Amino acid sequence: MVAWTQLLVPIALSAVFVFVASSIIHMVIRWHNADYRKLPNEDEVCAALRKSSPPPGQYIFPHMLDPKECKDPANQRKLVDGPVGLLYIRPNGMMKLGPFLGSWFVYTLILGGLCAYLATFTLAKSATYLEVFRVVGTAAWLAYAWQSPSDSIWKGKPWIITARALFDGLVYACVTAGTFAWLWPR
């Protein structure tokens, strides 16, 4: 059995490599720019939101959380007339990228640690490169990407955005798996 502490280097390096891969995807290739559309009347929508001043959070509209409310003809009309959606509000002010990047790096470290934890219980010290790659890669792909289909099913996220997220997650999983397989203690 491999001790978890023997995997600290693969955990740290895979986090660095995933961070670099995600930076390339988001800042060089920029293929996620297509994920975000501009509202045709953005200024009016923003003015209406400023007027009501909602605190940061997640909102649903029309707001009907009780099934009884959905039976009300007025509420049914709201659903038919639209719009129907989810809205995320962040705190006002300039976005500071540092905290996002720091949180993302910590997330990749935690995910690498969880993959290491799983690997210590499922792989022998004599495991081959491919065995390590399969176990760690599967676990990492599940963690990096497989929330996205649920968001498309339940939240209405467009499936093309989910497809891109699944591909990103596959890249991150392969980077993680390759790092662990390369540095697996033997």
Give the model confidence (pLDDT) of 112-134 as tens digits.
Answer: 999 999 999 999 999 999 999 99
Report the percentage of the chain scoring pLDDT > 70: 100
Burial of 30: CB neighbours in 10 Å, binned 0-12, 13-18, 19+:
exposed
> What is the model's pLDDT at position 130?
98
The pLDDT confidence band at residue 1, using thresholds 50, 70 and 90, is confident
Q: Is the predicted pLDDT of residue 58 greater than 90, yes or no?
A: yes
> What is the model's pLDDT at position 85?
93
Contacts of 124 (CB under 8 A, 6+ apart): 1, 2
pLDDT tens for each residue of 64-109: 999 999 999 999 999 999 999 999 999 999 999 999 999 999 999 9
Region 23-51 average pLDDT: 95
- State phi, psi for 181 to the nearest 5 degrees: -65, -40
Using DSSP, state whether 87 is helix, strand or coil.
Answer: strand
Token pair listed for 159: 């499936």
Distance CA 24, CA 107 (A): 18
pLDDT tens for each residue of 10-20: 999 999 999 99
Burial of 114: CB neighbours in 10 Å, binned 0-12, 13-18, 19+:
middle
Contacts of 141 (CB under 8 A, 6+ apart): 169, 170, 172, 173
Token pair listed for 21: 């891969």
